[in-house]
């Protein structure tokens, strides 16, 4: 039996570095150590790109109502920041690229942000979360809040695609993955790999009771549809586990093919590394086939979508 994958000139070894519960009293330094442990495992497995999750540096603080002062301790004022410099240094030593989601404090406001860093330690891409879920005001009867609309401005970067790691790479963050427009904007730019981190509370807010049993299905549905309908690979990375008693975040870090198949997925709710060697030329089966945009797409009929 011929092992042909190695002959594919465009293969990339990617890894999803899932992070388990991060407790409120855990320091940035302790979290970065966990991230570096996962990066070293990725390097041992010869991965070329390790992907972290959304807001990977702290507990998922939008569950709490915080004062402006308490809030600021969760934000990075620069990138690299003093806390994340060791991550950049280790990555450069190991010659491995990475994706990182973090809470960004910039001169024009607070954003839910992610960056793509190449194997030389250069930030080659930056994305700010467009679709900000939850509420700006606490919901009185809820034990856990989801105050992302209080803490983050809606992202202004739009959905870009960069040439990196020998392919076309895009980024999205959490709720973005549920919106087909996110994927299509990158699909139109020829994306071949989408990296998306998530913090998805299984303990859905009260009004979502009707579908909270479907949380894991909706996650797979969003990821698999996005990949298939745009002919792209995706690496999805969870921040998961029980952050405090009764507040449980979903896992399911996964790698999905352009055919819409989940080729690897985490089956635990703690720190975990899920990796795969992906064949980027598989995207062409879709991009030149069933979803050949040039041939089949009808933008003349889609104006409603942007009105
Ligand atoms: N979290 C959730 C997500 O989109 C959510 C918010 C949960 C929206 C369930 C709708 C239903 O996965 C973040 N951080 O966006």
The pLDDT, as a whole number, for residue 191 is 98
Concerning whether 174 is annotated as a catalytic residue, the answer is yes
User: For residues 230 and 295, what is the distance between their CA atoms, to the nearest angstrom?
Assistant: 14
Mutate to test the pocket of ligand 1, among 55, 133, 222 (most ligand atoms within 8 A of CB): 133
Predicted pLDDT of residue 210:
72
Q: Mark whether 129 is an active-site residue.
A: yes
Catalytic-role residue among 55, 76, 129, 240 = 129
Whose Cα sits closest to atom 15 in ligand 1? 175
- Please give the pLDDT value at position 197: 98
Cβ–Cβ contacts within 10 Å for residue 210, how many? Answer: 8
Structure tokens at 50: 């390790």
What is 11-305's CATH topology? Answer: Nitrilase/N-carbamoyl-D-aminoacid amidohydrolase (3.60.110)
Task: Look at ligand 1, atom 2, and give the residue with the nearest C-alpha.
Answer: 200
Six-digit token string for 169: 């790479």
Say what the pLDDT of residue 206 is. 46
What separation in Å is there between the alpha carbon of 257 and the centre of ligand 1? 23
Q: CA 13 from chain center: how many Å?
A: 17
Q: Choose, from 51, 55, 167, 174, the residue flagged as catalytic.
A: 174
pTM of the model: 0.96
Orientation of helix 28-44 relative to helix 85-94, angle to 10°: 10
Sequential pLDDT tens for the chain (307 residues):
666 655 667 999 999 999 999 999 999 999 999 999 999 999 999 999 999 999 999 999 999 999 999 999 999 999 999 999 999 999 999 999 999 999 999 999 999 999 999 999 999 999 999 999 999 999 998 899 999 999 999 999 999 999 999 999 999 999 999 999 999 999 999 999 999 999 999 876 545 667 778 889 999 999 999 999 999 999 999 999 999 999 999 999 999 999 999 999 999 999 999 999 999 999 999 999 999 999 999 999 999 999 9
């Amino acid at each position: 039996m011929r092992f042909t994958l190695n002959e594919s000139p465009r293969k990339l070894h990617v890894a999803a570095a899932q992070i388990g519960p991060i407790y409120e009293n855990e320091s940035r330094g302790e979290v970065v150590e966990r991230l570096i442990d996962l990066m070293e495992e990725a390097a041992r497995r010869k991965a070329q790109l390790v992907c972290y999750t959304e807001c990977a540096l702290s507990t998922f603080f939008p569950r709490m109502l915080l004062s402006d002062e308490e809030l600021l301790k969760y934000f990075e004022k620069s990138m690299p920041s003093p806390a994340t410099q060791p991550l950049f240094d280790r990555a450069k030593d190991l010659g491995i690229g990475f994706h990182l989601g973090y809470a960004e404090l910039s001169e024009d406001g607070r954003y839910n942000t992610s960056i793509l860093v190449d194997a030389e330690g250069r930030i080659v891409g930056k994305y700010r979360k467009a679709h900000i879920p939850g509420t700006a005001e606490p919901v009185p009867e809820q034990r856990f809040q989801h105050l992302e609309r209080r803490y983050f401005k809606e992202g202004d970067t739009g959905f870009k695609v960069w040439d990196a790691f020998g392919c076309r790479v895009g980024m999205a963050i959490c709720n973005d993955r549920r919106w087909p427009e996110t994927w299509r904007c990158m699909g139109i730019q020829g994306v071949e790999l989408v990296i998306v981190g998530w913090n998805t509370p299984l303990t859905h807010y009260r009004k979502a009771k009707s579908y909270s049993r479907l949380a894991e299905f909706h996650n797979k549905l969003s990821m698999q549809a996005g990949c298939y309908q745009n002919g792209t690979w995706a690496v999805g990375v969870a921040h998961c586990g029980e952050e405090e008693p009764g507040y449980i975040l979903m896992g399911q870090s996964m790698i999905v093919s352009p055919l819409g198949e989940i080729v690897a997925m985490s089956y635990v709710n703690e720190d975990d590394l899920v990796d795969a060697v992906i064949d980027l030329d598989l995207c062409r089966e879709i991009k030149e086939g069933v979803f050949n945009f040039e041939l089949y797409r009808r933008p003349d009929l889609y104006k409603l979508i942007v009105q």
